Amino acid sequence: MAGMSSLLAVLDAGDAQPAAVELRARSYELLGDLTGRTVVDVGCGGGRAVAELAERGARAVGVDLGPEMIAVARQRWPAAEFHVGEACELPLETGSVAGYRADKVLHLLDDPARAVAEARRVLAPGGRIVLLGQDWDAIVIDSDDPETTRRLVHAKADSLPSPRVARRYRNLLLDAGFTDPVVEVRTFVLTDDTAFALLRRITDEQSWLAEQAERARTNRIFVAVPMFLVAAQK
């Protein structure tokens, strides 16, 4: 559980950032009025978004692939509903939800289109879908060695199943038959310890990290992460 605890600590720290709080709130707004209606948060992790959606009056359901993560979510938010399940095979009836939300999920899937088709299955007619996440090939890092920086960012992206899916959100939804897509981009600008923590997730190349550590020490670290939000209707 030590690994789970450290992962939760990273997730909690990220969730608490003002920009992340604002981004989640905007994703809820894009789902429309969900008062008294069912919404599913896919890849719910520790369940924070499920709890926040419930606070807004929705019947919120969280689904995550990890049983340990779902156990944590149930412990943290005992009044909410959580299920272990896959994005491509949701434990939900056809047409049973009014809203579908997936935050930083599709880049982890080999076939994001299958997940979008599954979202369309569980959504009722008129239901809304919101996808949000970063494009792993579009992270901006200030560095004295731009060539190495490009190589490391691309290498990290290429290690993921679908690293550039965020730029495809709109077309994925159109291809699946969703209508009236709305696209927004919010950029996270990181200039503190959060920036260095992200860079350590990108690479363990010590010589490159040493420069970034010195930048962090002298208040010169700069990382910008564009976050893509796309909403559409069934």
- Give 119-134 pLDDT, tens digit per residue: 999 999 999 999 999 9
| 215 within some domain | no
In this predicted structure, the answer to whether residue 137 has a pLDDT above a threshold of 80 is yes
pLDDT at 119: 98
User: Half-sphere exposure (CA, 13 Å, Cβ side) for 205?
Assistant: 15
Q: Average per-residue pLDDT in the chain? A: 94
The percent of residues in the chain predicted with pLDDT above 70, rounded, is 96
H runs (alpha helix) in the chain: 2-16, 18-30, 48-55, 67-76, 112-122, 146-158, 169-175, 193-202, 206-217
Q: Could you tell me which residues come within 8 angstroms of residue 99 by beta carbon, excluding any fewer than 6 positions away?
A: 31, 32, 34, 37, 38, 39, 40, 58, 123, 127, 128, 129, 130
Asked if 178 and 129 count as a contact pair (C-beta separation under 8 A), the reply is: yes
| 202 within some domain | no
| 216 within some domain | no
Output DSSP code: residue 86: B
pLDDT at 18: 86
Output DSSP code: residue 158: H
In this predicted structure, the answer to whether residue 85 has a pLDDT above a threshold of 70 is yes
Asked if 131 and 232 count as a contact pair (C-beta separation under 8 A), the reply is: no
pLDDT tens-place string over residues 13-36? 777 788 889 999 999 999 999 999
Backbone dihedral angles phi then psi of residue 200, each to the nearest 5 degrees: -70, -20
Asked if 140 and 199 count as a contact pair (C-beta separation under 8 A), the reply is: no
pLDDT tens-place string over residues 194-223? 899 999 999 999 999 999 999 999 999 999
Structural domain range at position 40: 2-135+161-186+227-233
- 10 Å CB burial of residue 160 (0-12, 13-18, 19+) is middle
In this predicted structure, the answer to whether residue 1 has a pLDDT above a threshold of 60 is no
pLDDT at 153: 97
- Assign 219 to helix, strand or coil: coil
Asked if 66 and 101 count as a contact pair (C-beta separation under 8 A), the reply is: no
Overall domain count for the chain: 1
pLDDT at 2: 54
CA 119/CA 131 separation, integer angstroms: 11
| 144 within some domain | no
The percent of residues in the chain predicted with pLDDT above 90, rounded, is 89
Asked if 75 and 47 count as a contact pair (C-beta separation under 8 A), the reply is: no
Mean per-residue pLDDT for 138-148?
97
pLDDT at 206: 96
More confident residue, 183 or 18: 183
Give the CATH number, domain containing residue 102.
3.40.50.150
In this predicted structure, the answer to whether residue 171 has a pLDDT above a threshold of 80 is yes
pLDDT tens-place string over residues 34-72? 999 999 999 999 999 999 999 999 999 999 999 999 999
| 170 within some domain | yes
Find, among 128, 230, 126, the residue nearest to 170 by Cα. Answer: 230
Q: Quote the tokens at residue 66.
A: 């990890």
CA 109/CA 49 separation, integer angstroms: 21
Asked if 86 and 106 count as a contact pair (C-beta separation under 8 A), the reply is: no
pTM of the model: 0.92
| 77 within some domain | yes
| 165 within some domain | yes
Mean per-residue pLDDT for 151-167?
97
